[in-house]
Chain A
Amino acid sequence: NAGVTQTPKFQVLKTGQSMTLQCAQDMNHNSMYWYRQDPGMGLRLIYYSASEGTTDKGEVPNGYNVSRLNKREFSLRLESAAPSQTSVYFCASSERTVMNTGELFFGEGSRLTVL
């Protein structure tokens, strides 16, 4: 089972460049999330989509945009990359919302370096 698939796994950008991280899940989950993980700071929520057609900001949305393309896919876009966006990005999905103690299923992560 593929679960949650993220692409690319590694990317190096120059300051000011743009890119899109792709995420797809094959578990028919309603909710999808984008997190970033930085040393000593744990996972911080960037954006989430409780259901197809809706998106909401998380803790650290500045500098990012998202698109819930359909029920399976949720992409994260960096319009003008900055060194502060160097991080490991994780996409996750859940069948139920976290308010209903939904378990998050994570992808393997995308390691982004901005020079």
Chain B
Amino acid sequence: TQLLEQSPQFLSIQEGENLTVYCNSSSVFSSLQWYRQEPGEGPVLLVTVVTGGEVKKLKRLTFQFGDARKDSSLHITAAQPGDTGLYLCAGVETRGYNKLIFGAGTRLAVHP
């Protein structure tokens, strides 16, 4: 099974700060998704990246897929308390098993 490692595990910052979350693997994924999960709820998809080197922006969130499709990053500019949550990356295996492999997640707390 391909593994996805996320870092950092926990992040506690003040409103207005910038941050980057990383998702790394030694294996290649055909695509990668980022989800956000709030307490007591299921994860909700933020973005899917498919092409190596691809950059996607969602308001203050910028997602990048590594050139070799082994890693991805999520950058948040001027974080707000509403960004608080668990951020999960998930990669689609290349072996045709039709499954998403999830990282352990980064728990972000943004304080006013």
> Contact residues of A with B, CB < 8 Å?
4, 31, 35, 40-45, 48, 50, 58-59, 90, 92, 97-99, 101, 103-104, 106-109
Contact = CB atoms under 8 A, between A and B. Distances in A.
B98 A108 contact: no
Nearest to A97: B98
Contacts of B50: 101
Given A40-B104, A42-B104, A98 B99 contact: yes
Given A48-B99, A99-B98, A103-B33, A90 B88 contact: no
B98 A44 contact: no
B102 A58 contact: no
A108 B44 CA distance: 11
Nearest to A50: B98
A109 B48 contact: no
Contacts of A109: 40-42
Nearest to A48: B99
